[in-house]
Amino acid sequence: MSASDDAPSDDTRDDLALVATGIAKVYGATCALRSARLALRRGRVHALLGENGAGKSTLVKILVGAVTPDAGHIALAGAPVAFGSVTQAIRAGIVPIYQHLSLFPELSIHENLSAFALAAGGGLWTGRRLVDPARARGWLKEVGLDVDLAAPLGSLSLGERQLVEVARALSLDCRVLVLDEPTAALNADEADRLFAVVRRLCASGTAALFISHRFDEIEALADEVTVLRDGRTVIDAAPIGRHSREELTHAMLGAGVEAAPARLSERAAPVLVGRGLAAGRHGRGSLDVIVHAGEIVGLAGLIGSGALSLAATLGGAQAGPGELSVGDASFMPGDRRRAAALGIAYVPADRHAEGLFGALSARRNASVSGLGRLARLGWLRARAEAQMVDPLLRRLKLHPALPEAEAATFSGGNQQKLLIARGLAVPGLKAMVLLEPTRGVDVAARGVIHDAIREAAASGVAVLVATSDLDELMVLAHRYLVVREGTLAAELPRSAPRAALLAALSGSAAA
């Protein structure tokens, strides 16, 4: 399944509103986009799919002028464009609407609808630059809202605020509407109202880019779909219905090459136990998860399923309903300090935002989980620290082999090795909870990290791996737990075929 299989045959077609080709963007050692392509047609809703790290956010930021691409071209209605800011993109008619609204709850609805006019002007007499009330009411009417312009925006429901943001887009002669997870916080009725407005806008010639992880919404609203994986376009503008949910899931996660089954130890006694847990904001606090000594459990789920949230809860990093225990000792979700004291290592999904201390040395990043036993009378014993951590860094093949160097100077894969080393250095290690343990690392680092995970399990550690990488699940796990829409939708043995796992992830029937 390649991009060319679904690509529009002619980029000069009159109905093409926006075409982005050859888009590339690199951040340090991370390649976010690799010659990605996107073609939007007037009057059509175009869905953009891809797992975390696929490049969706970077591509959207480039389209709306927030980020400059390193390579590639963008054409709007056939004319080349290069935006230096979001303001320039908006003036050209590309209007983004995000999951987190860019409105002002304390201001009136009228003032929010006038925000672009106010920003364009100067001076203090802002009242004179409010848009004409009749025009403002017209925009609201187009999105199905009948509200008092003088009322504070904060008096509206979240769904109504989203519609106000769409109404504001109407003031800009919107040619391309970018909807980035717009229904994440909406209920079903609010989402339906939003979809109706988007359909009306498209009927008048607007092109809409719709980013969502919910297959039911995509099938209900979108006309075409593009899928990104690892920064590349792997399905390009395919008509909705051409590919099944399973095929789209397969495209997002990748087929890869089947690796030889890992030799993993058999189950033993329960070690990490969670009772009455919730997966994500919409979870109901009814999930039970048990990981045994020497077992690797793969936790799988698409974006928004709640899988990563459930994993964070099991690692003690996220509060919520339920109770956790390690052996005979229990603790409440969200008590990460207690979890670490009981021997639970935790590797977060975002190493930069949640895990790494860039200004500290590689050695110190790996040792922070054991500082309590390395300190004496308030002083850190440097020799003891090196004796504890350096063998782990050698085992993980840290490159360059400079434990004293700042963590920020290492590549992404080697930074990830530091977090794995930190986990292995937890005193009295009994369980490891790993979220996306090889995201953004190269093949060599991936193999080293996988070997370390297997070795930990072979030594009796209970391991839970939450990952969107299907191949990673299939080479590591004894069994799979599949999370879908906040529930444990399936438990599958290691012997389950790939098709069964894909079907469980997407909610379709296995072939």
Sign of CA dihedral 297, 302, 305, 306: positive
* pLDDT exceeds cutoff 60 at 257: no
CB 52 within 8 A of CB 349: yes
pLDDT at 266: 57
Q: Which has more confidence, 241 or 168?
A: 241
pLDDT, tens only, 427-442: 999 999 999 998 767 6
Say whether pLDDT at 119 is over 60: no
Average pLDDT over residues 282-310: 87
Between residues 120 and 462, the one the model is more confident about: 462
Residue 352 is given by DSSP the state I
Surface-to-core class of residue 376, CB atoms within 10 Å of its CB (0-12 exposed, 13-18 middle, 19+ buried): exposed
Instruction: Assess contact for 422 and 366: CB atoms under 8 A.
Output: yes
Under the banding of pLDDT at 50, 70 and 90, the label for residue 283 is low
| Selected residue with higher pLDDT from 33 and 12 | 33
Mean per-residue pLDDT for 38-44? 97
Of residues 54 and 311, which shows the higher confidence score?
Answer: 311
Q: Does the pLDDT at position 121 exceed 80?
A: no
- Please check whether residue 153 is in contact with residue 103, taking contact to mean a CB–CB distance below 8 angstroms: yes
Q: What is the pLDDT of residue 263?
A: 54
Q: What is the DSSP string of 190-209?
A: HHHHHHHHHHHHHHTT-EEE
Residues of the chain with pLDDT > 90, as a percent, come to 48
**What does the pLDDT read at residue 134?**
92
Q: Is 95 exposed, middle or buried (0-12, 13-18, 19+ CB in 10 A)?
A: buried
Give backbone dihedrals phi and psi of 73, rounded to 5 degrees, phi first.
-140, 145
pLDDT at 159: 77
Q: Is the dihedral of CA 247, 280, 160, 101 positive or negative?
A: negative
Omega before 497 within 30 of 0, i.e. cis: no
pTM for this model (two decimals) = 0.61
pLDDT digits (tens, 9 = 90+) for 53-97: 688 889 999 999 999 999 999 999 999 999 999 889 988 999 888
pLDDT in tens, 145-177: 889 999 999 898 777 888 888 888 777 778 999
Summarised one tens digit per residue, pLDDT across range 122-148 is: 444 444 578 899 999 988 888 888 899
Least confident of 221-235, 247-261, 331-345: 247-261
pLDDT of 123: 44
Percent of the chain predicted with pLDDT > 70: 88
Residue carrying the six token digits 């003088």 = 150
Quote helix, strand, coil % in the chain, to nearest 5.
35, 25, 40
| Beta partners for residue 71, in sequence order | 24
The pLDDT mean for the chain works out to 85
pLDDT for residue 4: 43
Model confidence over 356-381: pLDDT tens digits?
Answer: 888 899 999 998 887 777 777 667 78
CB atoms < 10 A from the CB of 448, how many?
Answer: 22
Q: Are 274 and 314 in contact (CB under 8 A)?
A: yes
Cα 471 to Cα 255, 256, 290, distances in angstroms? 7, 6, 23
Q: What is the CATH number of domain 270-506?
A: 3.40.50.300
> Residue 179 is which amino acid?
L
Q: What is the pLDDT of residue 3?
A: 44
- Span of 72-76, 289-293, 412-416 with lowest mean pLDDT: 412-416
**Three-class SS state of 34:** strand
> How much is the pLDDT for 219?
92
